[in-house]
Amino acid sequence: MLLTEYDKRIYNTYLASGRIAKNQPFKLRKNFDGIEDEKYILLKKLGDFFARNNHINMQDYFSAPYDIYGKDAFIELNFFLSRKAINCYTLKEKKKALSDPESDQVKENVKDSCKFLYGYCKSENITLDEYKTYTPGAVPIYLMHLKERRINFYIVHGLEIADPSYHLGNELLDFMINEYKIYMDETRLNFMKSKKLKVLVKTALNIVNEKLRSDKQQTSKKQTEQ
């Protein structure tokens, strides 16, 4: 039974998360020969889980239970295939989303969101103005990206996207993103009060949009020349 490098990374991330939560040193496992059958099966199942939910940050997922149960908790590997593990991660992400808008964590998340936006919009050959209403499926794509935590609510406020509840309804929004209105209202208030965050978001989005417009013009020019 062979583990892939990805399987090994999952196990080492799990090991490291538990030690880091306890402020203890850790050593990554290098030799996986003779790994127990139970761990082999669990790692394969976790690999499938992360593949199906590739928006989940593996490090945050494995560290989330320690935020809920305390740093002294012992979390076995099989726990991370349970509903409780998903709930822990959801609570961690909620806390992150509603945290201090001036925190480094929020600023890094804004930067990561903008990087994702640029990559996605470039692949679709659209600008941010078009992204706001872009609907390749049943709902606007930005809602899917919010659900998958690829962008955050501060990006939505920065883009000045119109409230979707008028045409989608609160029930559908809450089904897609639990407590959607709470997230929306609290982050909007944070966004309006925080001058530094507002400037950061607006500046970053303007840079992304200018790059996308330039990319689109170059694509159109190449197509015309062909």
Rounded CA-CA distance 110/61 in Å is 19
Cα angle: 102, vertex 94, 126; to 5 degrees: 75
Claim: this prediction has a pTM higher than 0.85: no
**pLDDT at residue 225, rounded to an integer:** 66
End-to-end CA distance of the chain: 52
Which residue's entry shows tokens 């944070």?
Answer: 190
Q: How far are the Cα atoms of 8, 66, 162, 224 from residue 152, in angstroms, in the given order?
A: 30, 23, 15, 37
Rounded CA-CA distance 157/184 in Å is 9
pLDDT above 80: residue 172 = no
Q: What is the mean pLDDT of residues 2-6?
A: 89
* Structure confidence by residue, pLDDT tens digits, 131-169: 999 998 888 999 999 988 899 999 999 999 887 876 777
* Structure confidence by residue, pLDDT tens digits, 71-127: 888 899 999 999 999 999 988 887 777 777 778 888 888 999 999 999 999 999 899
Letter string b/e over residues 84-102, b meaning 16 or more CB atoms within 10 A of that residue's CB: ebbebbeebbeebbeeebe
**pLDDT at residue 207, rounded to an integer:** 94
Percent of the chain scored above 90 by pLDDT? 44
CA contacts within 13 A on the Cβ side of 49:
21
